Structure 1
Amino acid sequence: MNAAPEPVATMGARYRILSEGDIIHPDDEGLRPDCERWTRVTENAMVCGLRYAPGLHAPMRRPLGHVFPPLTLEEYSEAQLRDLLTQALSFRVDSEITIVHRGATGWAVSKGSATVNTDLEAEYEPMPSSRSEEYIARTRFPLEMAFDIARKYIANEKAKGYYRGT
């Protein structure tokens, strides 16, 4: 007979341990190096807004029943925003264009099954095993350049009267 799973919090508990991927909020608490006391995260604001990673962060807990509103843009530091950007896998620019992370090769500007190249043309994206080095060089960019390519592509298509994105 299988044992019943352990409860997330025992009766009378006032906290729950953060799970991997939870967003760290100002009222969460981190275990201090002495492993006996907890410190509110506001005393170390650099971690606010980051995703909790057990391998990187000390154990952290959150008061039970505590509902946090999402952090506003103003509550993030520039370093935290940069960190959040590094965790993103895609950015929806509008209804037709998405900037998608393609691993070590960089970012692609995607329009359905096509990718936008350096000449601001949408070209069919072959299966990964069929992508040539030339294709990758034309369609993979650093993130800032991908946003620039997307903006230019949209402006170019609107000027021609072809663009239907929103």
Structure 2
Amino acid sequence: MDLLFIVQLLAMIAGNLLIGAIGFIPSVFMTALNISLYGLGAGLLLSLIGEVFGVWIGFHLYRFGFSKMKDEWRRHRLWRYLHSRNASQIFFGIIALRLLPFVPSGLVTAAASATPVRSSHFLLASTIGKIPAVAFEVGAVYGFTQLVPAFYQYLILALLLAATLLGWVITKHRSAK
């Protein structure tokens, strides 16, 4: 292995972890990059590692943030509800929410970090729930990259980025008024 490959792999691992930890940026683009650089098998493995350990990092970051929360928030009914669940309800709830394709990962991670669930149980439940979700995403991305010519893939990516940038500019403009 040459140095460039190692640096590229470490950068990809860091990028996958970052996307997983942030939790609200869709990982589909990183998945496509993983597959294009490392092939289907290694791309799947890299995506799964990034998703699972990324949400685990996010879990600890959210938990740290919640530890700094004012006491009045701890009296909120949602907070009390989350803390009244037993360990198995939380564990299976995490798995179920991870299996649902359109539930934002960051929301699941934040909610779980507000519960008394142990870090190791969160990691295990997230792994169980993420395996089918990541496999489905990798399959969909791989199929898309095989069926759609590269020019159109780049065009779709450019349009999505332009729409995101436009939405951000509009939001900033409205909030400035």
Length-normalised TM-score, structure 1: 0.25
Q: Going by fraction, where is helix more abundant, 1 or 2?
A: 2
Larger Rg: 1
Q: Going by fraction, where is strand more abundant, 1 or 2?
A: 1
